[in-house]
């Protein structure tokens, strides 16, 4: 019997190479994963790195309906990062693509490899603003108010 589909939200970001193209391509690739389909992609945002150095990021959030388990989805997202040349020389290093599993339905997961909801999503304007664009019911206005000092702008 097939697994019931779950709506997951994936944070997408890049700040090396053609970041805009990488983010747009990754959104489509997330929707093309096995047993998955893209439901929505937020507008793009430009944001300054948080707790890191390097060029500004291009960010978005994608909603995907999937039958993949959360660990399988995480593994698939890491595979897409590798396809885009993602390297991890140090924590918060600049990157060609960063895919974060933000939410997986209403699941709360805490394992060595995966924590959902994403543990830092409420601290990041580059997650909250694009998520609010596609799923406003999931974003507390007080959380948005708490990140207003972060440099971020919607881009065309």
**For residue 2, what pLDDT is reported?**
63
Whether the link from the prior residue into 132 is cis, omega within 30° of 0, is no
Catalytic residue among 46, 53, 91, 100: 100
Average of per-residue pLDDT across 54-58: 90
Q: Kindly tell me if the per-residue pLDDT of 1 is higher than 90.
A: no
Q: Which domains, and CATH codes, for the chain?
A: 6-155 (3.30.70.560)
Mean pLDDT of all residues in the chain? 91
Confidence tier at 93 by pLDDT (50, 70, 90): low
Catalytic residue among 46, 86, 124, 132: 86
CA-to-CA distance for 39 and 67, rounded, in angstroms?
A: 14
Output the six-digit token pair for 72: 């399988």
Helix (H, G, I), strand (E, B) or coil at 59: strand
**For residue 90, what pLDDT is reported?**
58
Residue 100 among the catalytic residues: yes
Residue 86 among the catalytic residues: yes
CA-to-CA distance for 10 and 37, rounded, in angstroms?
A: 13
Catalytic residue among 37, 91, 98, 113: 98
Contact 73, 104 (CB under 8 A): yes
Residue 98 among the catalytic residues: yes
Catalytic residue among 46, 95, 124, 132: 95
CA-to-CA distance for 120 and 13, rounded, in angstroms?
A: 15
Residue 95 among the catalytic residues: yes
Average of per-residue pLDDT across 80-96: 73
Confidence tier at 92 by pLDDT (50, 70, 90): low
Q: Kindly tell me if the per-residue pLDDT of 72 is higher than 80.
A: yes
How many Cα atoms occupy the beta-carbon half-sphere of 21 within 13 Å?
4
**For residue 116, what pLDDT is reported?**
93
């Amino acid at each position: 019997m097939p697994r019931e589909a779950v709506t997951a939200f994936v944070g997408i970001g890049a700040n090396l190479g053609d970041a805009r193209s990488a983010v747009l391509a990754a959104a489509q690739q997330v929707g093309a994963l096995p047993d998955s389909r893209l439901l929505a992609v937020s507008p793009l945002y430009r944001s300054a790195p948080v707790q890191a150095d390097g060029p500004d990021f291009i960010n978005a959030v994608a909603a995907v309906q999937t039958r993949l388990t959360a660990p399988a989805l995480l593994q698939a997202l890491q595979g897409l990062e590798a396809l885009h040349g993602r390297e991890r020389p140090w924590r918060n290093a600049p990157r060609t693509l960063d895919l974060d599993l933000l939410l997986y339905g209403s699941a709360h997961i805490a394992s060595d490899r995966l924590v959902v909801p994403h543990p830092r999503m409420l601290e990041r304007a580059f997650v909250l603003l694009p998520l609010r664009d596609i799923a406003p019911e999931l974003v507390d206005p007080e959380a948005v108010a708490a990140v207003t000092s972060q440099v971020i702008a919607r881009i065309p």
